[in-house]
Structure 1
Amino acid sequence: MVNPKNLRCISFFRNKSSIMAEQRRHVKSPYRFMIHPFSTLCLLLEVSFFIVWMWNMLLEPMFDNMIEPSFPLDIVDNYVMVLSQFLLITFFFFLGYIDLKTREIVVDTKRVAYRYLRTFFVFDFLSSELLNLVVFPSEDFQYSSLKFIKYVHVPCLYVRLNTVLNILDNLGQVMKVRQKIRMCFCYIIKTYMYVHFFCCLLYLVPQVVYDTDWPSNSWLVQAQIAPVHDVPVHIIYGECLLLTICYFFGASPGKYVIEQTNEQICLILIGLFGRLYTLYLLADVLNIFGVVGLSESNYERQIAMLKEYMVCHNLPNQLGSRMIKYYECKFQKKYFNEAEILKSLSGLLRAEIFLFSARTIMRKTNVFKYLPENDVASLVSLMKLETFAPGDIIFTAGQIHEYIYLISAGTISVGTKDGIELCHFEDGEIMGLCYSMLGYEMFTAVVIETSDVFIINHNDFFTFLGQYPDAVEFLHEKAVERAALYNQLEDAARKGVDSCLVLLRSGALLEKKRLRPMHC
């Protein structure tokens, strides 16, 4: 099930009402047994995957190459890691994912399985020890097959390097590490893993070529780290790592004369890959820190200016906290000038962007069912989108206001002027009907969490709906029904009955009833 406290989940949905809607969608769907990408179990699987694959990528290239596994390493590698890989491969068939292009959360069994089969399943299977359990028709074929598996085993592990780094970045986000620090750390890990792979390859290839007949001009013999010299593993690894770094970054040809063809080919490949990777790394770093880093720096600068403003005007801490939370939700820690961006676009594009942002109310608000699709878009274009911070009072009991409010995302509490909370309204609900239809406002509306609300003057609203009497009649009935509900809930609350308990259990409330300031 979705974990509402997951930071990635909060960043993706922005408000509790959307998180609860996703929880209900997952639980009520036929795929409720699937693992949701924002669940605690998914996080545990990601941590397990990170540990298992990092272990294998670091040690598997060295086993039967630089070191011989001994107790307890052989137990961990042959049993614990093999079993862990098998379980993880099985779980991946039931692990939902997020389609980054459409921002769709996919938990459909067939789509999840098909995606895994056509992406990483073959590599994960080849990188595991499961093929060793396969019964081959003959010993010669078994020997050739196992030898092939041994050589493709490690490269298949490294296919998942970007996945491991993405998980590491997600874990850093959970621990609230800054984005720039996370990126730098991931680049360092990625670079080291590539160097480590070529370091082990540089020691493996001569062993495969020479077996026991070592020529005196081999660089391993010159360095006295060949298998026949019985040298400690840290010395072998240190010499191989130093030579690999020299060729990988093009810093130096090293201190050894390379005469054997197989060793020269290895170092040429290392140098070529290292040059290409260095160019890619520099371009990627400049691109990210020039674009992503710029928006993040602008956000930090804006927050610093906001804090200075709060100190200068001696604003109370509670108000200051609300202002900072507003900025966090509005900009998601990346500041941009929305007005300048929209101003540079054509009128048609601006209209399309606005209609896209209003897709929730267009889909969930019942009154729009009485209007043709083109007229719905025309009505929405008359509205204005406002973002309210937690604690903001939209209107109070007895107040004269001129607007209709349509909740696009977020949660708003309705209560009496005495502070008695009655119920909550979420995405797609209309507020302000009592004043517009009945001529008076009975109750107070307070924002619970940062909410996006579309606002329209009630005269413009009902003038537009004048040509649709069914829609006006529906809104009138809705206002009368809502006024009766408010009175019923207020009477129950004043009599000491917990009127919110039923709504809380049904999911209509996000939290327990509490006393809120219902007046300015």
Structure 2
Amino acid sequence: MTTPKYNKVFSTLGHECEMLAEDDEVEKRFPGNTYWDKIKRGWMRSILVHEKICKSCAIHLRSHGAIEKEKQRHIRYHPSSIHPFSSARIWWELFMTFICFVQLILVPLDVGFFAFNVTMPFFTSVYFLAVRMVTDLICCVDIGVNSITGYYDESKKEVVLHHHKIVTHYLKTRFLIDFLSSIPTHFDLFISMNYHSHQRLEIIMLQLLSTLKYMRFFTFNTLATKLCNIFGVDFYVRHGVLMVLTMLIFWHILSCTQIFGYLLFDDKKNYAAYKNTSSFKAISRSLYDGALLIYTASYGVEEPENNYEFMMTTILWFLSKFVQIYLLARVIEFLRAKTSPKMKYSQMVKQLVEFMRHKQLPLYTQKRILTYYEFHFQKSYFRENEIYATISGQLRQEIVMQTCRQLVENVEFFRDLPLNLLVRIVSCLRSEIYLTNDVVVKANSPGNCMYFISTGTVAVYTTSGKEVCHLEDGDHFGEIALVNPEPSRVASVIAVETCELYRLDRKDFIKAIHPYPDLLEKIQKIAADRMEKTNLMEEHYKRDMATKRLY
């Protein structure tokens, strides 16, 4: 089967190249044509890594080949885990962001105004209570979903899908907050509960337990930040909106909690204040009291009448100041971010867009340029040449060896080379980036270098248009040009997707291997054998084409 996304027409060379998909592991694992089999296959595909999502989040999954290998690893060894960069996980996080926001609005209202069910029956209505129960149950389900969802290990640059490791990581990080903020606290749909009855103490305890759901704000903030990164929301827009939402949510929570606190310590005064008051007016008054408490040292409309109310007001006032300090820190971070790598990249892209608009470049060219910058910098600006210039030669050598050694060792005639020679060859590599449809090598053109594929996929085909193969991460091509003094390329190579290649020039290779004449002779023999096989394949293909024309 073929992957539609990679049906690319290379009009320059007159060859239609299709990227062949890997064997469908999902079909193998869930064979059959029943309705249930189709559902299982659909679910399995939805929890596998999604190409667009992982390329924006995981630096080690930048090519089609790497993503296909990740899918196969997932299906074969961890089929019951949800990939953190899957479409199913992203949709669930979008849904949970909405649920957390709903809880941060409804729970404070419930805590503050549940007791006033006589004059404000909305807070004990079936609709309000049903939404509260459903959101609590969804949060409980979220704990289960998080327990089977993998996570991205930043230190190792890999996705962890092993169940034991997932659960251990979850218990160490978010589990306690999720558990405490997911405990159901409303059973009014099944049990009649009245604040002004003998159940007053039980209801107050449930309401106090409900305040733990305020911790859902941290989950909301984490999910919103992650989704903004995935969908490429502008840095200023993201931080500005989150700061405003933080202030509004805290204002809402503090105002409603203040009403609940006064209710605990002076029930009669509070009930009289809200008697014959509509829900809208009650909420407006609570917001006014909360604003006075946050922005001034005022107590609100009425001064506290006992030590408990004084203590509660003081605690809430200090909390408001901590939140103001937190917001101030976010503003300072927001301003300092102008010098951060991500912000520099954003500014560089804006300058690039203005440059392209000034030059009146066509839209197709603009997209290709932006794709190049995004792939090269990974949305974080840095100056590689300046970094290399400030470190020692030994460190530069270690970095290059760490990056490229495996690529070079994959070449047949580079295996078992002396370490000193391998280091010299690796240090000669130069990184190049090719976009989709770019011609890397053209058949019959002079060749003076070979290429190693770091990430990406290329298509290889002969001069007559026969597609030979696709090469992916870790593969190489063009090695014959290293040892043939007057070579002509025997095949054309086209980038099927955005690729990062490392180039090794013949002059650098000859200079590096000059002290090892025996190795050079061996490499020349291997290259000659490979060239002969390629020529035989080309001749066989031409004979087949000639036979087809006759018939």
With the shorter chain as reference, the TM-score category is 0.7 to 0.9
| Structure 2 counterpart of 1:432, one-letter code | G
Q: 1:74 aligns with which of 107, 129, 148?
A: 129
- Report the Cα offset of residue 429 of structure 1: 1.1
**Cα pair 1:98 1:104 within 8 Å, conserved:** yes
Percentage identity across aligned positions?
22
Deviates more, 1:234-243 or 1:284-293: 284-293
User: Residue 171 of structure 1 corresponds to which residue in structure 2?
Assistant: 227
State the alpha-carbon separation in 2 of the partners of residues 192 and 486 from structure 1.
Answer: 72
1:193 counterpart = 2:249: yes
Distance 1:369 1:260 in 2: 84
Instruction: Say which is worse superposed, 429-438 or 143-152, in terms of deviation.
Output: 143-152
What is the CA-CA distance between 1:453 and the residue it aligns to? Answer: 1.4
- 1:91 Cα offset (Å): 1.5
Contact 2:49 2:70 in 1 (8 A): no
One-letter amino acid of the structure 1 residue matched with residue 533 of structure 2: A
Instruction: List aligned pairs for 1:23-102, cutoff 5 A.
Output: 23-28=71-76, 30-63=77-110, 65-67=112-114, 68-78=123-133, 80-102=134-156
Deviation for aligned residue 1:43: 1.3
Counterparts in 2 of 1:493 and 1:452: CA distance versus 1, 3 Å? farther
Match of 1:152 in 2: 209
Q: Which moved more, 1:320-329 or 1:122-131?
A: 122-131
Q: Look up the match of 1:422.
A: 468
Pairing 1:16–2:64 present = yes
Distance across 2 between alignment mates of 1:387 and 1:71: 60
Task: Say if 1:53 and 1:272 are closer, same or farther in 2 by CA, change over 3 A.
Answer: same
Any residues of structure 2 matched to 1:66-465 within 5 Å, and which?
A: 66-67=113-114, 68-78=123-133, 80-129=134-183, 150-155=207-212, 157-210=213-266, 212=267, 214-215=268-269, 220=270, 225-226=273-274, 229-250=275-296, 254-291=300-337, 292=340, 294-308=343-357, 310-311=359-360, 318-358=364-404, 361=407, 369-371=415-417, 376-417=422-463, 420-437=466-483, 439-461=487-509, 464=512
Letter in 1 for 2:461: G
CA RMSD after TM alignment: 3.6
Q: 1:69 to 1:469 in 2, by over 3 A?
A: farther
**Letter matched to residue 265 of structure 2:** V
Deviation per residue, 1:177-232 (Å, 9 max, x gap) = 3222122112222222222221221011122223x4x35xxxx57xx634xx1422
Q: Is the 8 A contact 1:394 1:447 kept in 2?
A: yes
SS at match of 2:126: coil
User: Matches of 1:486 and 1:239 in 2, distance apart?
Assistant: 87
SS at structure 2 position matched to 1:413: strand
Bigger Cα displacement from structure 2, 246-255 vs 273-282: 246-255
Residue type at the aligned position of 1:153: S
Shift of 1:464: 4.2
Closer/same/farther in 2, CA of residues 71 and 476 from structure 1, 3 Å limit: farther
* Partner SS state of residue 143, structure 2: helix
Does the aligned pair in 1 maintain the 2:345–2:380 contact within 8 Å?
yes
2:23 corresponds in structure 1 to none
What's the secondary structure of 1:453's corresponding residue? strand
Classify 1:91/1:390 alpha carbon distance in 2 versus 1 (closer, same or farther; 3 Å).
Answer: same
Separation in 1, partners of 2:166, 2:409: 27
- C-alpha separation in 1, matches of 2:370 and 2:477: 26
Equivalent pair of 2:464/2:542 in contact (CA under 8 Å): no
Distance 1:126-1:298 versus aligned 2 partners, 3 A rule: closer
1:138 alignment counterpart:
none
Higher deviation after alignment, 317-326 or 395-404 = 317-326
Q: Distance in 2 between matches of 1:53 and 1:304?
A: 37
**1:478, CA displacement in angstroms?**
7.2
Distance 2:381 2:403 in 1: 19
Using the alignment, how far apart are the partners of 2:383 and 2:425 within structure 1? 26
User: Is the partner of 1:407 in helix, strand or coil?
Assistant: strand
TM-score by length of 1: 0.78
Deviations 1:251-298 (A, max 9, x none): 866454344333332332233222233233223333234334741442
Count residues in correspondence. Answer: 472
Shift of residue 413, structure 1, vs aligned partner: 1.9
Which ranges in structure 1 are unaligned for 5 or more consecutive residues?
A: 134-141, 497-520
Deviation at 1:473, TM superposition (A): 5.0
Deviation at 1:145, TM superposition (A): 8.8
Q: Distance in 1 between matches of 2:538 and 2:243?
A: 57
The separation in 2 between residues aligned to 1:31 and 1:489, in whole angstroms, is 43
Matched residue of 1:231: which SS? coil
State whether residues 390 and 449 of structure 1, in contact with CA within 8 Å, keep that contact through their aligned partners in structure 2: yes
Distance 1:409 1:486, change over 3 A: farther
Gaps of 5+ in 2: 1-46, 115-122, 188-198, 546-551
Structure 2 vs 1, CA of residues 131 and 233 (structure 1 numbering), >3 Å: closer, same or farther?
Answer: closer
Using the TM superposition, give the Cα deviation of residue 247 of structure 1 relative to its aligned residue in structure 2, in angstroms: 2.6
Contact kept in structure 1, 2:137 and 2:184, CA below 8 Å: no
- The aligned amino acid for 1:105 is V
